[in-house]
Amino acid sequence: MSAQVIDGKAFAAKVRAQVATEVGKLATEHDLVPGLAVVLVGEDPASQVYVRSKGKMTVEVGMKSVEHRLDDDTTEAALLDVIKSLNEDPTIHGILVQLPLPKHLNEDLVIGSIDPAKDVDGFHISNVGLLGTGQKSMVPCTPLGCLMMLRDHHGSLSGMDAVVIGRSNIVGKPMAQLLLGDSCTVTIAHSRTKDLPDVVRRADIVVAAVGRPEMVPGDWIKPGATVIDVGINRLDAPEKGEGKTRLVGDVHYESAAAVAGAITPVPGGVGPMTIACLLANTLTACCRANGLPEPEGLTA
């Protein structure tokens, strides 16, 4: 058997196109432009790349994009002031503070200062609580992207056995909540889980969010299961030339694809969905702020 490849790049393009259409309708019917503000503190090269591509895609779907680039030694008070002004700005519907922050800044405090209605990353404690109690919330982008791909592939997820490997606040835990919300029977595995291969072998859906290159081999996968690989790991690739690298997921792709029913590749799987869902969340936040109905299929 060879798994169907779930093409996250193509699916993300479809989501962005839907967002662009809805943004167009907001402009013509309500004279509204959703606005996304990204705040970056410091010079982390990976963060700079993310912020650039978020800004570019925000503009491409017709939204307003604002970037605040602050120095590495920005004080907490100065950062909180920027967030306060964005909270109060009616043209801004989504605020994202790029993580990680420099060590001297308290991440929980900073995230907690964002208006929960504008918290398009879904990390504010109010949104975590709303998601955990099955209420309308802003949902973290990466797990939302995984959920959209699973729904698109399966239709209903009701009654399926799902195993999420990883219990981080940004991926593992919200992913498990979303799967529970769609009536899966959910197991959350982590570094202390006993007999992980056996736990994974029971799953109809496996979501791997560990951060360990190719940790999940094909012989852990139940034949026909759907595998969502969240991991992004960079490995040396001397075969491509000196100093070259390649990206791999947390799943050993070749062996897993031989048994799975469907699988997301790395790159080109979950990754592109994350930014698409950030745009979807900004649109949702704009609709909610203006008392308008939310577009179909872009929220949990």
Question: Residues in the site for ligand NDP, rule: CB under 6 A?
Answer: 142, 165-168, 170-172, 189-193, 196, 209-212, 230-233, 270-271, 274
Cis ω before 100 (30° cut-off from 0): yes
DSSP state of 159: T
Active site residue 98: yes
Q: Which is nearer to ligand NDP, 165 or 286 (CB)?
A: 165
195 has catalytic annotation: no
Nearest to ligand NDP of 172, 265 (CB atom): 172
Minimum distance from residue 138 beta carbon to ligand NDP (Å): 16
Q: CB pairs under 8 A, 24+ apart, for 121-130?
A: 121/96, 121/97, 121/278, 121/281, 122/174, 122/281, 123/169, 123/170, 128/169, 128/174
Round to whole Å and give the CA distance between 102 and 99. Answer: 9
Give exposure, 50-77, as e/b (b: 16+ Cβ within 10 Å): bbeebeebbeebbbebbebebeeebeee
Annotated ligand binding at 167? The verdict is yes
Between residues 221 and 270, which has the closer beta carbon with respect to ligand NDP? 270
Task: Determine the residue with CB nearest ligand NDP.
Answer: 168
Is 241 annotated to bind ligand? no
Considering the complex, what minimum distance in angstroms separates the CB of residue 197 from ligand NDP?
10
Catalytic, out of 115, 119, 121, 250 = 121
Determine whether 87 is exposed, middle or buried from the number of CB atoms within 10 Å of its CB (0-12, 13-18, 19+): middle
Q: Answer yes or no: is 168 a known binding residue.
A: yes
Q: Which is nearer to ligand NDP, 87 or 168 (CB)?
A: 168
Q: Could you say which of 18, 54, 118, 229 is catalytic?
A: 54
18 is catalytic: no
Q: Which residues are catalytic?
A: 54, 98, 121
Instruction: Show binding-site residues for NADP(+).
Output: 166-168, 232
